Structure 1
Amino acid sequence: MSTDTINKEILRGGQFLVKETKCEDIFTLEDLTEEHKMMRDSTKEFVDRELWAHWEKFEHKDYAYTEECMRKAGELGLLSIAVPQAYGGMGMGFVSTMLVCDYISGATGSFSTAFGAHTGIGTMPITLYGTEEQKQKYVPKLASGEWFGAYCLTEPGAGSDANSGKTKAVLSDDGKHYSITGQKMWISNAGFCNLFIVFARIGDDKNITGFIVENNPKNGITLGDEEKKLGIHSSSTRQVFFNETKVPVENMLSERGNGFKIAMNALNIGRIKLAAACLDAQRRIIGEAVNYANERIQFKTPIITFGAIKSKIAEMATACYASESASYRAAKNIEDRISLREAAGNSHQEAELKGVEEYAIECSILKVAVSELVQFVSDEGIQIFGGMGFSADAPMEKAWRDARISRIYEGTNEINRMLSVGMLVKKAMKGHVDLLGPATAVGEELMGIPSFDTPDFSELFAEEKDLVARLKKVFLMVAGSAVQKFGPELEQHQQLMMAASDILIQAYMVESTILRTEKNAKRFGEEAQAAQIAMSKLYLYNATDIVVKKGKEAIVSFAEGDEQRMMLMGLKRFTKYTNNPNVVALRTQIADKVAADNGYTFD
């Protein structure tokens, strides 16, 4: 563990809302080590050679090519980044894992889905919950690509309500094996996997149990046909049927009834990795769109010079920059928390589980925000291409279709919105995050007389950081009043929770963006970061608009009379700019930089 990790204050999950973070204490893509850069560059080389150059194969449902590329990824060690060295892996840190998930995702959603299903939910449950014997037996094969894994949780009647599955596991009379019977659906990698992580219920247990099941058709396992899907065409997705499939008792994963916990923790890891898997897709879409706009001539002029196109390019680049900023901030927080736990004597398994669990709120925030931003970027990419964007002969329409699934899997965005607020409230009740004190202070501020002093905004981002702090106050005002009014019944008010979540999401995303730029402006100079400064200001402008809309929506849903008027006045006060930015000038500045570079170069 580095001295930097020991010396800096590492906020607990959710504390970003109530504690100030210094720009020096966050990690950015500009902080990558030489080892990180080598891993990134080797991943990009593989993607360019094997995936991007053959993107049509993935659109034509060439499942065999997906499997072939997975084996090549295994040979290069890309499947083993997060696997401890003791089990044939590279044992690299969480940031390295994020980097590979990030850059391997750019070419095709089909491959990134296969990759994520195998390295994440197909392998990590054994690494983190398996016995030593299970890990020695299975993980080296999975890390090398000799075997591939799949994850069997979802059932026809159990999607978001994962613990309601009907698949049964019955212990044999001699106590040597379980017989599993049931139906699983939407199983990624089912067509070529060697091993399933299967969740089933034993007797009338309240919670499901996890099992490691080898894929043997002679053992009561049959597959449905490949699903016909909107996107990710070459990701093998099938139903899996188990008919008295015998599983040795030693293949139970963790303890009886622990399956729901395994599933939820696997989803925490999956959510932040899904955010990473939406990053390079954005970069490549922007690159393709800018290249096209530079070359496309209309009215005797390249369309990149038109203000309407510049607006789109700028917003796309800003979305990608914010996505990167927040994703790598959280990734390094998780890595540092894992390191601290290992230094305190925790096993690797326990340290990683607790390290990721600590930032489950941020994982849900990122899953929602980045999956929606990649959809926005791909949609604007189609628009810039015009009619060609709608054609399957150009890469834009497949990028849009592949992006769509990211808002559904690893828990729908609606579920994750409610989770982020719900988990934060629970953390507050446990005393892990002090929401009561700051929320009370915001309430007192609303009752007081506002200050009319002119603040000193001479330093870079002084005004913007002041506004970010006030956006956080909007969340504290809304959530504090809602909790006080509804108590434990808050979870029943889903639309209110989703509106509050959007405020929380924007606070985290915009703070991460500004802190990244502030850190880099201090070390590289403001002139070198001119476009990044513009993107940070543009994202804040957009985020503030969202907070105004969602704040009003939340307030009028539960407050009435004087309370409502006071809160709406507070909303106006907390979201007010002292000096409104020239948004058109910001967009023009960003777009001109991206156009000159002929693509996104901020990573």
Structure 2
Amino acid sequence: MSKTIGGSFILEDTDYRSIVTPEDCTEEHRMIARMTEDFVEGEIAPLDEELEALDYELTVGLLRKAGELGLLGAEVPEAYGGLGLDKLSSTIINEKLSGASSFALTIGAHVGIGTLPIVYFGSDEQKRKYLPALASGEKIAAYCLTEPSSGSDALAARTMAQRSEDGTFYTLNGTKQFITNAGFADLFIVYAKVNGTAFSTFIVERTMEGVSIGPEEKKMGIKGSSTCPLILEDVKVPAENLLWEEGKGHLIAFNILNIGRFKLAAGCVGGCKDALGYAVRYARERKQFGRAVASFPLIGSKLAEMNIRTYVLESMVYRTAGLFDEGLAGVDSGSGSVGPASAKAIAEYALECSVNKVFGSEALDFVVDEGMQIHGGYGYIREYRIERMYRDSRINRIFEGTNEINRLLIPGTLIKRAMKGELPLIPKAMALQAELLSLVPGQSFEGVLEEETHLLAMSKKIFLMVGAQAVQKFQAKLEEEQEILSRLADMLISVYAMESALLRAKKRNTVSGEEKGRLASEMTSVFVHQTFVDIERWARETLAAIESGDMLRTQLSVLKKLARRQELPAIALRRTIAGRVIDAGGYVV
């Protein structure tokens, strides 16, 4: 079976049997989940206040305990001291660590953006030297890309690396900003321009002369994680510490950020479940007007929507984990330098990573915000965990590339792939033009999820119609029309979210039966219908920015045909969903 092409979901129908869902987890996966939960509950939760006060010694000690359990080496090949597990396993670990609050970020930065550059782009010598210590927690890693004057514009970095005349070392000078784990990290993945031009990557050790760490930043949230500047003053880095090749740093940086975006979304799944659990338990216990606030329909509606968005995000993340396992299956990261193969395999799903990151970070913000609202005034008090979650969640829309940058990357990546002939975007859009002229609306739907399947298909057509108009109108200048690109990104994100939820519900109905899959179907119906309304609105807004007069009226007439749907009894469905959530005391599917 051929591998799934990244971004192809907008052009093709996907078979529900081909996707990975949480229900596909094996007993081994469930054991990993339980082990991670036990670690968080047994080792992290009792020391929560001390960790939140940023105790370096305690944090490092717990990292080593995590290493003993294998939680730091899940994605490190067995040949280099790790477990060599699949992406589904590491996704489960990421999700379950969410309950560890700031400590989850500390682990995430170490195992993800700190260690994976060496896993995917290191030489055999570099892997043997560093990976066993990183997998055990003996050494802690940090990722150093951002600078005081370059955040989203990473390639504008001013950190320089001067190659010695004999080629045996590089001299690094510069400052990196907002570096997670910097306060106690032993290794730093540092990006610098060799001789002022070739953007490259270096493994820098803390003990090298000229390396120093600035003071801890005073942050709004994630207070239990270390965030400091890294200062490099005439640091002599051996040539063998150059990662991959000179001038290939951008490929390492952006592909590791792709994985970071995906892992962030996986953490958001756990965060959503945690926040929902706190909100439900509080709503069941808190009495107002002589009854539990959970019994009030408006509170129930909030809980239902929190559960729906968590379900959709979970469906997206596990589907994407399956894509990564599929794409990386042929990459042998257990031997030698596999930079080109790794870069290609990871970049294949760059669009999906950005989609997950944007949806996940915004879903978590929504869920914790509603959770705080359900807590009322108590939600604003530090004694209640939801207050911290509210502060901690906000960084996710900035981490790993802001959501604004990712919204520009999503359609940009799709168009670039089409221009390279990797996706048949242009032929599909041209074929759609002829189809729209003969479009005959008016269908009836009776089967489970039949109309939702139709609305998904129409959403793809709407995107293609609007996207084709935008490309035709602006051509090479489209990249300057950021509002239009953002709307196209919103449509793409919504299509992936709708389809992921729909495919999972169909798979659940087929495997477990419609009765057991009823809740998934109900949540999918509510989400698809409400999101379809958003897609129509975005399309109208975008077309109005592209066309005017008779041409606009014609386009809006076509859109109206594509956007016809039957109204859903959403209020009643949300009440049903809320009842299930309240009875379960937390997330349910």
**TM-score normalised by structure 2 residue count:** 0.97
Deviation at 1:601, TM superposition (A): 3.3
Where 1:421 maps in the other structure, the secondary structure is helix
2:7 aligns with 14
**Residue of structure 2 aligned with 1:500, choices 481, 488, 497:** 488
Distance (Å, rounded) in 1 between the aligned partners of 2:344 and 2:166: 37
Distance (Å, rounded) in 2 between the aligned partners of 1:547 and 1:416: 18
Q: Deviations over 1:39-81 (max 9, x none)?
A: 1111111112223344333433334433232121111110000
1:231 aligns with 221
1:465 aligns with 453
Residues 556-567 of structure 1: matches in 2 within 5 Å? Answer: 556-567=544-555
Residues 188-207 of structure 1: matches in 2 within 5 Å? Answer: 188-205=180-197, 207=198
2:203 aligns with 212
Residues 206-355 of structure 1: matches in 2 within 5 Å? Answer: 207-216=198-207, 219-340=209-330, 351-355=341-345
Where 1:196 maps in the other structure, the secondary structure is strand
Deviation at 1:488, TM superposition (A): 1.8
Deviation at 1:352, TM superposition (A): 4.2
Please say if residues 122 and 339 of structure 2, whose CA atoms lie closer than 8 Å, have aligned partners that are also in contact.
no
In 2 relative to 1, CA 192–341 (structure 1 residues): closer, same or farther, beyond 3 Å? closer
Residues 127-138 of structure 1: matches in 2 within 5 Å? Answer: 127-138=119-130
Residues 92-131 of structure 1: matches in 2 within 5 Å? Answer: 92-108=85-101, 110-131=102-123
Question: 5+ residue gaps in structure 1?
Answer: 1-5
Please say if residues 505 and 521 of structure 2, whose CA atoms lie closer than 8 Å, have aligned partners that are also in contact.
yes
Please say if residues 117 and 188 of structure 1, whose CA atoms lie closer than 8 Å, have aligned partners that are also in contact.
yes
In 2 relative to 1, CA 524–347 (structure 1 residues): closer, same or farther, beyond 3 Å? farther
Question: 5+ residue gaps in structure 2?
Answer: none
Deviation at 1:429, TM superposition (A): 1.1
Please say if residues 389 and 397 of structure 1, whose CA atoms lie closer than 8 Å, have aligned partners that are also in contact.
yes
1:537 aligns with 525
Where 2:559 maps in the other structure, the secondary structure is helix
2:514 aligns with 526
1:395 aligns with 385
Distance (Å, rounded) in 2 between the aligned partners of 1:591 and 1:65: 40
Please say if residues 300 and 575 of structure 2, whose CA atoms lie closer than 8 Å, have aligned partners that are also in contact.
yes
Distance (Å, rounded) in 2 between the aligned partners of 1:452 and 1:267: 43
Please say if residues 466 and 542 of structure 2, whose CA atoms lie closer than 8 Å, have aligned partners that are also in contact.
yes
**Residue of structure 1 aligned with 2:534, choices 524, 528, 546:** 546
Total equivalences in the alignment: 588
Please say if residues 95 and 335 of structure 1, whose CA atoms lie closer than 8 Å, have aligned partners that are also in contact.
yes
2:177 aligns with 185
In 2 relative to 1, CA 346–512 (structure 1 residues): closer, same or farther, beyond 3 Å? farther
Please say if residues 63 and 234 of structure 1, whose CA atoms lie closer than 8 Å, have aligned partners that are also in contact.
no
Deviation at 1:173, TM superposition (A): 3.9
The answer as to 2:115 corresponding to 1:152 is: no
1:27 aligns with 20
**Residue of structure 2 aligned with 1:480, choices 468, 475, 487:** 468
1:580 aligns with 567
Where 1:155 maps in the other structure, the secondary structure is coil
Q: Deviations over 1:505-555 (max 9, x none)?
A: 000001100110110011111111222111111111221122122212211
2:60 aligns with 67
Q: Deviations over 1:270-324 (max 9, x none)?
A: 1111110111111011111101101111111011110110010000000100000
Please say if residues 125 and 266 of structure 1, whose CA atoms lie closer than 8 Å, have aligned partners that are also in contact.
yes
Please say if residues 40 and 97 of structure 2, whose CA atoms lie closer than 8 Å, have aligned partners that are also in contact.
yes
Please say if residues 378 and 399 of structure 1, whose CA atoms lie closer than 8 Å, have aligned partners that are also in contact.
yes
Kindly provide the amino acid, as one letter, of the partner of residue 107 in structure 2.
F
Where 1:426 maps in the other structure, the secondary structure is helix
Kindly provide the amino acid, as one letter, of the partner of residue 27 in structure 1.
V
Where 1:278 maps in the other structure, the secondary structure is helix
Deviation at 1:428, TM superposition (A): 0.9
Kindly provide the amino acid, as one letter, of the partner of residue 280 in structure 2.
V
Distance (Å, rounded) in 2 between the aligned partners of 1:553 and 1:52: 48
Deviation at 1:172, TM superposition (A): 2.8
Q: Percent identity?
A: 43
The answer as to 2:443 corresponding to 1:454 is: yes
1:57 aligns with 50
Distance (Å, rounded) in 2 between the aligned partners of 1:540 and 1:32: 25
2:588 aligns with 601
In 2 relative to 1, CA 227–341 (structure 1 residues): closer, same or farther, beyond 3 Å? closer
1:86 aligns with 79
Q: Which moved more, 1:324-333 or 1:525-534?
A: 525-534
Where 2:99 maps in the other structure, the secondary structure is coil
Please say if residues 63 and 235 of structure 1, whose CA atoms lie closer than 8 Å, have aligned partners that are also in contact.
no
1:141 aligns with 133
Distance (Å, rounded) in 2 between the aligned partners of 1:587 and 1:154: 43
Deviation at 1:463, TM superposition (A): 0.8
Please say if residues 335 and 355 of structure 1, whose CA atoms lie closer than 8 Å, have aligned partners that are also in contact.
no
1:3 aligns with none
Stretches of 4+ moved more than 6 A in 1?
345-348
Distance (Å, rounded) in 1 between the aligned partners of 2:442 and 2:166: 80
Deviation at 1:444, TM superposition (A): 2.3
Kindly provide the amino acid, as one letter, of the partner of residue 276 in structure 1.
A
Distance (Å, rounded) in 1 between the aligned partners of 2:451 and 2:467: 25
Where 2:91 maps in the other structure, the secondary structure is helix
Distance (Å, rounded) in 1 between the aligned partners of 2:3 and 2:307: 29
Please say if residues 501 and 524 of structure 2, whose CA atoms lie closer than 8 Å, have aligned partners that are also in contact.
yes
Please say if residues 389 and 396 of structure 1, whose CA atoms lie closer than 8 Å, have aligned partners that are also in contact.
yes
In 2 relative to 1, CA 57–554 (structure 1 residues): closer, same or farther, beyond 3 Å? farther
**TM-score normalised by structure 1 residue count:** 0.94
Kindly provide the amino acid, as one letter, of the partner of residue 112 in structure 1.
A
Please say if residues 338 and 354 of structure 1, whose CA atoms lie closer than 8 Å, have aligned partners that are also in contact.
no
Please say if residues 107 and 281 of structure 1, whose CA atoms lie closer than 8 Å, have aligned partners that are also in contact.
no
**Residue of structure 1 aligned with 2:418, choices 428, 442, 445:** 428
Distance (Å, rounded) in 1 between the aligned partners of 2:519 and 2:442: 31
Deviation at 1:337, TM superposition (A): 2.1
Where 1:208 maps in the other structure, the secondary structure is strand
In 2 relative to 1, CA 54–381 (structure 1 residues): closer, same or farther, beyond 3 Å? farther
Please say if residues 382 and 389 of structure 1, whose CA atoms lie closer than 8 Å, have aligned partners that are also in contact.
yes
C-alpha root-mean-square deviation of aligned residues, in Å?
1.8
1:442 aligns with 432
Q: Which moved more, 1:52-61 or 1:397-406?
A: 52-61
Q: Deviations over 1:406-437 (max 9, x none)?
A: 11111110111111100100111112111112
Please say if residues 446 and 566 of structure 1, whose CA atoms lie closer than 8 Å, have aligned partners that are also in contact.
no
Distance (Å, rounded) in 1 between the aligned partners of 2:313 and 2:352: 12
Distance (Å, rounded) in 2 between the aligned partners of 1:346 and 1:51: 36
Distance (Å, rounded) in 2 between the aligned partners of 1:341 and 1:565: 51
Please say if residues 365 and 420 of structure 1, whose CA atoms lie closer than 8 Å, have aligned partners that are also in contact.
yes
**Residue of structure 1 aligned with 2:409, choices 406, 410, 419:** 419
Distance (Å, rounded) in 1 between the aligned partners of 2:277 and 2:209: 49
In 2 relative to 1, CA 444–53 (structure 1 residues): closer, same or farther, beyond 3 Å? farther
Distance (Å, rounded) in 1 between the aligned partners of 2:579 and 2:48: 29
Kindly provide the amino acid, as one letter, of the partner of residue 467 in structure 1.
L
